Amino acid sequence: MLQNLYHNPKAFFALFILAVTTFYWVFPDIMPFHQGFAFEGYTIYKPMAKDVHEYLIAHRMNSYSIQRIFPYVLLHFTFKVFGIAFSDFNMILFFQVFQLGIALIIIYTWDKLAKYLEIGLPGQWIGYLSMLINFATLKLDFYVPFTYDRLAMASGLISFYCYLTNRPLGLFINAVVALTIWPTALLFNLLMLLVPATEPVPATHNPWLSRIWAAGIASAVCGLFVLVIYVKHIPGSLYMAPAVRPLLPLSILLIGAYLAYTQTTLAQTVFPGWQEIIPRVRHLLRPRLSWLYALGLVGAYVLLTRYLGDPTHPYLTPQQFAINLTYGALQRPAQSLVFHVLYYGLPFLFIALFWRRTLQAVTRLGLGTGLLLMAVLIQAVNNETRQMANVVPLLTILAALVADGLTPRPKAVAVTAILAALFSKAWVVSLNYFDPNYGKPGDIYPMLNFEQGNFLKWPQQAYFMNLGPWTATPYLVIQAVAVVLAFGVIYWLWQPRAKADTTFTTR
């Protein structure tokens, strides 16, 4: 029976997600604050879902929030067509069913992509575990169902599927839809349209250009941090965990070293030698249909954000973005890696532990994948991991290829699955168990006295300890110990054996 289970991961995860979703329908665990509509869902998207014309046409939405309207517009027209009342219960139920459907799409798409890439069973399992067995999918999406993060993951996975299987029209269509799902989708989809998956990594290398690139990226990011903290003296938000100020220089140093190393080694893989640069550029600039797709995508973005949306009242100004990025990266040294593992789990563990093998996977998948990973790793300095929802599939693909090139112990996949489940906190059946006022009128857990900093205290930390910028330092330290142990366990389980095949086959 266990052998059959191991050889049919698609069926297993489909049944598993269906079982978990059914459990939370029967025994709901929904955030009391705004009855599951939570934050932007309550203030921005719930009113719009009820009246699209009023909140999207008559009064234009800001250009940032309009880039997440897809599921709420879908809800509105579904309810209109079928005559469903716009009650809170019906709207939450719609999203619960919708989230189940999205999970099944993720399972179906990953199965097709893994087979196309000829990924073996260990890698397939790591792919499913990476996207489905984590805090975001198994806890947060049920606790705050009226949201779009899982949809962003599915959209990203579909984009990477179309990209790696050479379906530019499908990529373009999905990219246009993704403009209304996730703000950073434009950047990554545009790059995939402009650099086809058939473009191999260069045959030559450019050490000097690689070092210059890495030094420039590290200097630019760390220079921004120094500007915000030491030149402008801009304090962090009162509504985030306070930074440990004596350790800020160490945080900057660690991020600079991280960027310098990862960008250098990646650049050495994807940057061509001097003699190859001009021919490569000419080859990429050759007339192709994808250029029209790229122009169409940019045009759709301008139409959405400048004409349908309202650019005169920005939801997030460039200055506020710089402040959030600075303190989100620097509050505590090395915190981002800890929170990435806590939130999405396995892909970050595998890529960090087996970096050289990750570079081999990049070599197999081509130039575009390397450039995409460069951008993702720069984004990863921020500790609010949910902002990476649309690129987690890329990390998943790389982690699966890495796992597929290793020779694990027979029970390694099972132990890894258990470890992923532990980090998902799925065993905490109800976050509301920690709410002392649960079921009482006026319960707004976990937001009680948020402005006074109560989010840094227990029991509010039962929720906020999972979200990087709002995690109190003591809970970060405790969880960091668990992450260090997880690194050790994964390496012990998956370390290359003497007879392991360290190469990747190509199609």
- Alpha carbon separation from 11 to 8, 23, 125, 346 (Å, rounded): 6, 18, 12, 21
110-130 tens-digit pLDDT: 999 999 999 999 999 999 999
Please give the residue range of the domain that contains residue 365: 2-204+289-427+475-494
pLDDT given at position 69:
97
Helix (H, G, I), strand (E, B) or coil at 310: strand
DSSP class per residue in 204-250? S--HHHHHHHHHHHHHHHHHHHHIIIIIS-PPPPTTSPPP-GGGHHH
Residue 32 CB contacts under 8 Å (≥ 6 apart), including other chains: 432, 435, 437, 438, 443, 444, 445
User: Does residue 299 carry a pLDDT above 70?
Assistant: yes
Express as a percent the part of the chain with pLDDT over 70. 97
Beta carbons of 181 and 68 less than 8 angstroms apart: yes
3-state SS, one letter per residue, for 260-281: HHHHHHHHHHHCCCHHHHHHHH
What's the rounded mean pLDDT across residues 220-235?
A: 96
What's the rounded mean pLDDT across residues 472-482?
A: 97
pLDDT band at 498 (very low <50, low <70, confident <90, very high): low
User: Does residue 434 carry a pLDDT above 80?
Assistant: yes
What's the rounded mean pLDDT across residues 354-361?
A: 97
pLDDT given at position 313:
82
11-59 tens-digit pLDDT: 999 999 999 999 999 999 999 999 889 999 999 999 999 999 999 999 9
User: Does residue 501 carry a pLDDT above 90?
Assistant: no
pLDDT given at position 237:
87
pLDDT given at position 385:
96
Is 441 domain-assigned? no
User: Does residue 92 carry a pLDDT above 80?
Assistant: yes
211: left (phi over 0), alpha (psi -120 to 50) or beta: alpha
pLDDT given at position 408:
83
- For residues 503 and 507, give the distance between their C-alpha atoms in angstroms, rounded to a whole number: 13
Is 41 domain-assigned? yes
- For residues 428 and 422, give the distance between their C-alpha atoms in angstroms, rounded to a whole number: 9
Is 26 domain-assigned? yes
User: Does residue 182 carry a pLDDT above 60?
Assistant: yes
pLDDT given at position 317:
83
Is 108 domain-assigned? yes
pLDDT band at 497 (very low <50, low <70, confident <90, very high): low
Of 36, 47, 117, the residue nearest 505 (C-alpha): 117
What's the rounded mean pLDDT across residues 65-69?
A: 96
pLDDT given at position 2:
72
pLDDT given at position 382:
94
Is 317 domain-assigned? yes
What's the rounded mean pLDDT across residues 448-474?
A: 94
The domain total for the chain is: 1
pLDDT given at position 464:
97
What's the rounded mean pLDDT across residues 294-307?
A: 97
pLDDT band at 500 (very low <50, low <70, confident <90, very high): very low
What's the rounded mean pLDDT across residues 314-321?
A: 84
User: Does residue 506 carry a pLDDT above 60?
Assistant: no
pLDDT given at position 407:
77
* Cis peptide, bond prior to residue 249, ω within 30 of zero: no
Q: What is the pTM of this model?
A: 0.95
pLDDT band at 503 (very low <50, low <70, confident <90, very high): very low
User: Does residue 507 carry a pLDDT above 80?
Assistant: no
378-426 tens-digit pLDDT: 999 999 999 999 999 999 999 999 999 997 877 899 999 999 999 999 9
129-181 tens-digit pLDDT: 999 999 999 999 999 999 999 999 999 999 999 999 999 999 999 999 999 99
What's the rounded mean pLDDT across residues 195-201?
A: 96
Is 186 domain-assigned? yes
